[in-house]
């Protein structure tokens, strides 16, 4: 349970346990924390418990409410905050369990860092660890036909590259038994993967026929029917 | 094409409200998930706005095939039509949330993650911003179709921390991208070729914080009843503390190609009696 400790002239006057959902502070007798002093407004301020946190609100008092010597309208109280009302001081104290709980809750809250902040943080960490903070350029896959056909080198700039006889294929291959789409290469979070799309034409990676998807490593050799090409990746020009 | 989907959103054990939101549309093969953030109820508003704007725009465009200049922002030439609908609708949602949070005090600082999955007979497209995840489950393997945009993922990529350190890092909830904090947004997008019996899982970090990829795979492979699986995933997260809202949405391709395909398709109605 949190507590409010009322202090005047460096002496503790009274301690108030936080037993309700909100406590009011003021000169009137009806307040939870009564401070009989002319510098304090009748109804001066209020502290509300909201979940695991405590919010202090100034109720438009004449002389204002201060937290750690700064004037506030509304303020989320931290452990050991010093609240000034007139000439009186109120110290806000949380129990250890509450402090621990709040810490965990703050970490579990999702937050967003703006780009400048997060770049700075990463660069700082990289310097401390002595790792070269490489400007993160994405890797671009390339296939290079080595079967003597005139296809040459093709960059896999699309997310999904279709290989086959169809006119809409990014890589068009001929041949009587070549299906409209014999295989596709997709750029996935874990790298480039080739998928055999079925049909009579076999797709082989390093001489092994593949049934489904297969992640491509640098210099893997792929055969589709009589065509043969090699896969490798290079640093891309584009930024992420 | 025949799709089946099931999804659950759960508040969890420790939060008061649910800031997650999701949508499933089997008719358009469109599945969307969002995890909102921001004080009071602003997080709930952000995730709902994002999902609804994206769903409405994509389905509208799918129905009427818009001109290129009707799309929000420039088209990406490396993507097909659907890929561009998705990118454009996410950018639009980002702009709306961004402007709302600047315009109104009660929405200040609101934002959301987003995950969009579109399943078509020829292609499956996944796009995401933030740390909500999209997985492909094919055969006995699980594979991400999304990239995490948080500090920990970037630290891992740069080799600054180990996988073990990443698991317990206090920075795992610090996003480096979301919808709503800047006027433009960078979106990761992937396309793959679908296969019959492929399953896709969209989920928020309430699940992936507490349940590992391998455990998710095991739970999904144990059962055939999709509603059952979703409930099991939620229960697992809650049993381990349920510190956050958890949303899961599971989709399965029951049948990829219409049985009436090829040339017969055009003539079948002629000699089949109407029911």
Give per-residue pLDDT as tens, B210-253: 999 999 999 999 999 999 999 999 999 999 999 899 999 999 99
Q: Which of A157, B219, A220 is nearest to A210 (CA)?
A: A220
Residue A202 has pLDDT above 60, yes or no: yes
Q: Which residues pair with A173 in a beta bridge?
A: none
Give the range among B24-38, B91-105, B117-131, B168-182 with minimum mean pLDDT. B168-182
Q: How far is CA B164 from the centre of its chain?
A: 26
What is the reported pLDDT for A88? 92
Of B252, B250, B47, B211, nearest in space to B130 by CA: B47
CB atoms within 10 A of CB A143: 24
**What pLDDT was estimated at residue B157?**
80
Higher pLDDT, A34 or A234: A34
**B128-152 average pLDDT score:** 93
Question: Looking at CA atoms only, how far is residue B160 from chain A in angstroms?
Answer: 7
Least confident stretch, A59-68, A90-99, B83-92: A90-99
* Tens-digit pLDDT profile for residues B5-47: 999 999 999 888 999 999 999 999 999 999 999 877 789 999 9
CA distance A143 to A145: 7
pLDDT score for A151: 82
Which residue from B84, B75, B4 is spatially nearest to B254, judged by alpha carbons?
A: B4
Q: Which residues of A touch B79 (CB under 8 A)?
A: 158-159
Contacts of A141 (CB under 8 A, 6+ apart): A155, A156, A185, A187, A192, A216, A231, A232, A233
pLDDT given for residue B198 in this prediction: 94
Confidence (pLDDT) at B275? 46
A136-188: per-residue pLDDT in tens?
567 899 999 988 777 888 999 888 999 999 888 899 998 888 888 899 999 99
Chain-wide mean pLDDT for chain B?
89
Structure confidence at residue B146 (pLDDT) = 96
Residue B248 has what pLDDT? Answer: 97
Q: Does A135 touch chain B (CB under 8 A)?
A: no
Q: Is pLDDT at A204 greater than 80 in this prediction?
A: yes
Terminal-to-terminal C-alpha distance of chain A = 49
pLDDT at A240: 41
pLDDT at B269: 65
Residue A211 confidence (pLDDT) above 90: no
- A159/B190 Cβ within 8 A: yes
- The predicted pLDDT at position A131 comes to 63
CB contact under 8 A, A131 and B143: no
Residues B134-151 have a mean pLDDT of: 93
Give the residue, B166 or B124, on which the prediction is more confident: B124
User: Using the 8-state DSSP alphabet, how is residue B150 labeled?
Assistant: B
Using one digit for the tens of pLDDT, what is the confidence trace for A94-112? 888 887 776 666 655 677 7
% of chain A at pLDDT higher than 70: 90
Task: In whole angstroms, give the CA distance from residue A137 to residue B141.
Answer: 28
Q: What is the mean pLDDT of residues B59-84?
A: 82
Residues of B with CB under 8 A from a CB of A: 16, 35, 37, 78-79, 83, 111, 123, 125, 131, 138-139, 143-147, 151, 154-155, 157-160, 170, 173-178, 181-182, 186, 188-193, 195, 205, 243-244
Q: Taking CB atoms and an 8 Å cut-off, how many pairs form between chains A and B?
A: 104
Reported as a pLDDT band with limits 50, 70 and 90, residue A132 is low
User: What pLDDT does A58 receive?
Assistant: 92
Which of A232, A178, A224 is closest to A202 using CA atoms?
A224
* CB contacts, 8 Å: A129 with chain B: 160
Band of pLDDT at residue B192, cut at 50, 70 and 90? very high
Instruction: Report how far residue B13's alpha carbon sits from residue A230's, in angstroms, rounded to the nearest whole number.
Output: 52
pLDDT number for residue B263 = 63
Nearest-Cα distance to chain B for A133, in Å, is 7
Beta strands in A9-112 (DSSP E): 11-17, 22-26, 33-34, 45-50, 53-58, 65-67, 70-72, 74-76, 82-85, 88-93, 111-112
pLDDT at A224 (0 to 100): 92
Answer with the residue of higher pLDDT: B94 or A96: B94
| C-alpha–C-alpha distance, residues A220 and A199, integer Å | 22
Confirm whether pTM is higher than 0.80. no
Mean residue pLDDT of chain A comes to 85
């Amino acid at each position: 349970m949190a507590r409010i400790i009322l202090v005047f002239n460096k002496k503790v006057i009274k301690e108030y346990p936080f037993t309700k959902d909100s406590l009011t502070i003021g000169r009137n007798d009806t307040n939870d924390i009564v401070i009989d002093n002319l510098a304090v407004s009748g109804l001066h301020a209020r502290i509300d418990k909201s979940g695991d946190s405590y919010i202090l609100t100034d109720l438009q008092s004449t002389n204002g409410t201060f937290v750690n010597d700064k004037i506030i309208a509304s303020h989320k109280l931290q452990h050991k905050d010093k609240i000034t009302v007139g000439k009186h001081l109120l110290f806000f104290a949380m129990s250890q369990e509450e402090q621990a709980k709040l810490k965990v809750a703050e970490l579990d809250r999702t937050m967003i860092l703006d780009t400048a902040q997060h770049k700075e943080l990463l660069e700082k960490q990289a310097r401390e660890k002595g790792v070269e903070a490489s400007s993160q350029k994405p890797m671009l896959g390339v296939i290079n036909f080595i079967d003597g056909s005139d296809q040459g080198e093709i960059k896999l700039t699309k997310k999904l590259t279709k290989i086959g006889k169809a006119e809409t294929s990014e890589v068009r291959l001929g041949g009587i038994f070549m299906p409209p789409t014999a295989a596709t290469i997709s750029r996935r979070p874990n790298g480039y993967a080739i998928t055999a799309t079925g049909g009579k034409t076999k797709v082989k990676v390093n001489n092994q026929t593949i049934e489904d998807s297969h992640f491509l490593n640098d210099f893997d050799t792929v055969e589709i029917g009589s065509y043969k090409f090699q896969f490798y990746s290079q640093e891309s020009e584009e930024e992420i | 094409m025949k799709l089946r989907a099931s999804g659950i959103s759960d508040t969890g054990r420790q939060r008061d409200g649910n800031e997650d939101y999701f949508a499933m549309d089997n008719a358009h093969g469109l599945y969307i998930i969002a995890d909102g953030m921001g004080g009071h109820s602003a997080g709930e508003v952000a995730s709902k706005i994002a999902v609804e704007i994206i769903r409405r725009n994509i389905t509208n465009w799918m129905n009427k095939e818009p001109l290129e200049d009707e799309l929000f922002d420039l088209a990406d030439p490396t993507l097909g039509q659907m890929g561009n609908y998705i990118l454009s609708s996410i950018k639009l949602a980002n702009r709306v949330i961004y402007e709302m949070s600047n315009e109104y005090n009660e929405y200040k600082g609101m934002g959301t993650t987003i995950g969009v999955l579109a399943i078509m007979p020829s292609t499956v497209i996944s796009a995401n911003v933030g740390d909500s995840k999209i997985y492909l489950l094919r055969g006995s393997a699980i594979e991400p179709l999304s990239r995490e945009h948080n500090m920990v993922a970037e630290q891992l990529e740069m080799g600054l921390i180990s996988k073990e350190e990443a698991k317990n890092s206090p920075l795992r909830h610090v996003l480096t991208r979301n919808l709503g904090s800047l006027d433009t947004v960078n979106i990761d997008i992937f396309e793959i070729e679908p296969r019959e019996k492929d399953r896709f899982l969209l989920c928020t970090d309430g699940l992936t914080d507490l349940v590992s990829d391998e455990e998710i795979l095991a739970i999904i492979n144990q059962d055939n009843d999709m509603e059952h699986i979703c409930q099991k995933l939620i229960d697992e997260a809650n049993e381990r503390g349920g510190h956050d809202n958890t949303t899961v949405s599971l989709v399965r391709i029951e049948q990829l190609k219409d049985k009436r395909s090829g040339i017969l398709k055009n003539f079948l109605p002629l000699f089949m009696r109407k029911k």
